[in-house]
Structure formats: C-alpha cells, structure tokens
Chain A
Amino acid sequence: MASRWGREGIAAPGVRHERRLVVRGVRKGLRTASGEVREILADVSFEVAPGELVAVVGPSGAGKTTLLRTISGLLAPDEGEVRYGGEAVDDVPAWLSIVFQDYSKSLFPWMRNLDNVALALSGMGRHEREQRAAGALERVGLGAFARSYPWELSGGMQQRVALARALCGEVSVLVMDEPFASVDALTRTQLEDEVLRLWGEMGFSAILVTHDVGEAVYMADRVIALSSRPARIVGEVAIDLPRPRDHLATRQDPRFGQLYGEVLALVEGVGRPAAGGAPLPGPPAAPAVPPARHRQEEGDLP
C-alpha cells in the first residue's frame, strides 16, 4: 500500500498540511420566509485529521449544505465553533476551497474556463494567474478547453472545471457539496477517481458531502452519518478498505458490502452507532442496496 494512500499515510513525509479541522458543538438555525427560525444543525461535532477524507452522508434536506457553508465560513454558527489548528474559521479562509453542488451556477457563463478557474487566484500578476489556472485545468484533463466557455462542456466536464478552480490555489482543506449529484453514473465513477487521485497527489484534507452511501464508502477514510433535519451526527464508520481504491476491485470486496450496510443502517436509523472500524455482523437485509451491487456481494455476506 502506497504510504500516502493508507491511514498511516497521514503522517507520511511530504504532506504539508498538518493541522486538524475541528467542528465543535455547531448549531445553526435559519430564518424561513415566514420569519420563524428553523433549527437546521443541532449540535454537530467532528474532526478531520490532516490529509483525511471524510464523507458526510445524510438524507435530502438534512442540512448538509448548511453544514458545509458553516464549516467554510460562509455562515457563522449560532453556537459552537469551527477551528483549523488554532485558527478560527471565519469568512472563507485562503486555505479552504469549495466545490459547490450546482456547477451550472458556480461557473460563470460569461467567462472562459480559464478565467473561471483563475477567478480563485489573487495576489499575483495576470500572467502567473493564467499559467496556474491552465495548469489546474491540465490536471483535471481539460487543458484543451481553457479557451472554451463552460456552457460548451458536458456536465461532468463542467464539474471538472469547478474542481480545477477549487484546486488551483494552495488548498489544505477541500470541501465538496454533492459534487457528482447531477452527472450520469459513468461520469460519476470517473470523477470519483479523479478526486481520489488529486487528493492522493496533493495531500489536502477533504470533506465530501453526498447522499450516495456507496460513493461515501468508496471514497472516504471515514463516513459520518447525519440524521434528518435538524441534523445531528448519528454515528460514524471508519472505512478500512485498502487504497488505492478501484471501482471494480473495491466494490467487489466483501468488506465494502459490510461497510455499506453499516453506513446504510446508520442513515436509515435502524442500526446502532458503529464503533469506528470494528467489523460488525453483515448488513441487515438491504432492500435499498442497488440490485446489481447487491447481487455481486450476496455470496460473501453471512
């Protein structure tokens, strides 16, 4: 196992980012149109180790976007705090990047892809900005589309541009809000691997919000499950699948099926909170498991 890719890889040399992101006791209410305050986040606490990839899963409308906006400093929590090392997270810090849920709105149609990416860079000359943005586009395989407009690209390509924008600076923490929710299934697997590759190469910590349990298990070091609104953490599962991960091999691994079931049980509220990483008995009867995947794993389950 390549050191960077495993859990022990966190301490591997060459990893520049050595601070922990700490979310402690965060509460947030939002005012609805009718004026009353609706509780969205009810006491959320978790930590992200340097270089760790944590997935947050939760039902639709649970408050995942609200949680990410709070972690990113776009929203101030009503109570609790978000800290990175000793530093309180306030406004969007320079070391934090966001990939938004809706790429069709986060990329601006009046800018070429290069300028869309370069928008995130400041404090340098135009030439250097464009150089770096071009490099970031190159890294996501879109070097040839620097001079096109985002609306000339497919959804998956647009989300790559958004990824390039998020990764063109000095990023220590990457926050992703259902980044693959609106691309087709094949593109989705490609993008998942793309993100894993960049994460492996660049060494940032990452928080991935998704409502796809399979995606969470496939990508993360640890999966945190949220309840429905108001969101609180109902449990977490350490994902001890080996890295590098691979869609064929990893998803066929019997362990994948077990972990999938554990997370699903948490999300559906039927399972008890899992003790991190300890192998539990197999997943409960899993009607919600996609049939194909279910068939694949059936033989291995107890």
Chain B
Amino acid sequence: MTTVGLAGGTGAPGGRVGRVASRLTGPAASRSALGLTGLLAAFAVWQWTSLLVHNPIYPSATSALSDIGTMFTGGNLASVVGVSLVRLGLGFGLSGLLGVGLGLLLGYSRTARDYLSSVVDFLRSIPFPLVLPLLVLLAGLGTSTVVMLVVLTALWPVLVTTADAAASVDPLVHDVVRACKLSRARAFRRVLVPAILPEILAGLRVAVGVSLAALVIAEMIGSSNGIGYFIVNAESSYDSRATFAGVVVLGGIGWLADTAFLAVERRALRGRPS
C-alpha cells in the first residue's frame, strides 16, 4: 500500500529543474568565445567556397570585407547604416512599449481581454508588409512609414507572449499582491511585471529579428535611404559587390542587435534562479 499521507505534497519547490539545465550551457564568457569560433569558421567556409566557385557574383570573404571597409570610409554606407539603426531603434522601441503595455492590459484584465482579444487576433493576422503601399500613400516615403511598418509587424510577438504570460500567472501571486496591500502602480512595478519578465524578454527578442526584417522590407519599398534601399538600389544597378556588402552589413546588424539584447536580458534577469 502506498497511501502515504505525509505532510501533503503541496509545496513542491518550483523552478529547481531549470538550474541544472542552465549549468550545461556554461558561463557567459565561454559561450561568447564559442560564438566567435563559429563566426570565424563560417568566414572560413565562405572564403573557401568562393575560391571554388570563382565567380564575381560571389565575392570572397576577404574582398567583401575590404569592400565594406571602403564603403564605410569612402562611401555613404555609414550614414545608410545610421539611418537604419535609428529607425530600427524607434520601431523596436515603440513595438516593445506598445506590446508590453497592451500585453499587460490584456493579460491582467479580464475585461480588456474580453473586449480586445478578437480585435488583436484580427489585426495580428494581417500581413502588414503587403499593405505597405497603403502606408506609403498614407505617410509618404521615409522614416515614419518605415517605423510604422516595423511597429505593426514586431508588436504582435511582444503583445501575445506578454498577454499569455500575464494571464497564466499563478493566482497565488494575485493573493500575495492583495495581502501585501500593494497599490496598482507598485503591484505592477514590483510584482506583476517581474513575474513575467522572462517571457516579456523572450517576446522582445523575437521582436528584434522581426523588426529587422520589417525594416528592410519597408526601406526597400517605402523609403529612399537606409540599408534596405541601399541593397535594392545596388541590385537594380547590377552592383553585386555593393549588394553583397549590404547583405553582410545587414547580417552584422542583426547579430549585434541580438547580442546586445542578450546582454540586456542577462542583466535584467540577474539574481534569479535558473
């Protein structure tokens, strides 16, 4: 018989399993060292395959990098990248603010969820890049159109992960908030946001990638500068070297953005188990 009625197993301490898993990935320093090795290996493969292919359409790693160097110093690549980075920052920042804000509202307020969830589901299934021409008609070519498209595209992953996480917060957390008599502002700042911070950050990280993709699409069609425009422009004038340089720079921006985001995330989650 195994009817052991000891001290009712109610308090299974949560979150202990995750810590073991995280130990396998090792400390941050060795992780980034591994990342660097991978990057170098990729460059080696690129270099080697380009020598095999031996076609000017597919430049070697070294020549592409030196092209990028000269385009940065001599050409206008620096200002092109600058413009795009500003748009990316604005677009991502706004999607983050809106996504987290609306996500908290939808996740923590039953009423808001009842009213708004079908609107949200409707809007987020619209492929906004396809309505880009409409945005151009609305706001013209330029930064506001680009930022608008980035927001309309990158908002949803943040909103949905935040709302889902908030809606499934343990009811006990709400009991504690009430038992501690927290004001609404204090409850959000100290408890309700931190309780779902890992999920919020995961949503934001997805939004980093989505923002970049939306940025490039928007710049290709809806603006006359920025990295997206730089690439289509190079393509339409059959400048394969500039095209390649643009694509590599774009990849670099993506990598930098993600790395920066991970650093922020680690910092934000410091002092937590697992």
Residues of A within 8 A of B (CB): 60, 69, 72, 74, 91-92, 94, 97-98, 100-106, 108-112, 115, 119-120, 122, 149, 151, 155, 165, 178, 181-183, 188, 211-212
Contacts and interface: CB of A to CB of B under 8 A. Distances in A.
A115 B14 CA distance: 20
A111 B273 CA distance: 11
A102 B172 CA distance: 9
A112 B11 CA distance: 20
A122 B11 contact: no
Nearest to A188: B7
A192 B220 CA distance: 70
Contacts, number: 86
Contacts of A165: 180
B272 A102 contact: no
Interface residues of B, number: 29
A106 B8 CA distance: 18
A119 B182 contact: yes
Nearest to B6: A185
B172 A106 contact: yes
Nearest to A93: B181
A69 to B, nearest CB: 7
A120 B179 contact: yes
Interface SS of chain B: loop
B175 A178 contact: no
Contacts of A109: 15, 272-273
A182 B181 contact: no
Contacts of A104: 11-14
Nearest to B190: A119
B8 A178 contact: yes
Contacts of A97: 179
Contacts of A98: 175, 179
Given A100-B176, A106-B175, A151-B15, 14 more contacts: A60-B8, A72-B179, A74-B179, A106-B176, A108-B194, A109-B15, A109-B273, A111-B190, A112-B271, A122-B186, A149-B273, A178-B10, A182-B7, A211-B8
A149 B271 contact: yes
Nearest to B170: A105
A69 B174 CA distance: 12
The 8 A-B pairs with the shortest beta carbon distances in the complex, nearest first, are A182-B11, A151-B273, A104-B13, A120-B180, A110-B194, A98-B179, A105-B172, A119-B180
B175 A108 contact: no
B111 to A, nearest CB: 18
A181 B7 contact: yes
A20 to B, nearest CB: 22
B175 A74 contact: yes
Nearest to A151: B273
A181 B11 CA distance: 8
A212 B11 CA distance: 16
B173 interface: yes
B110 interface: no
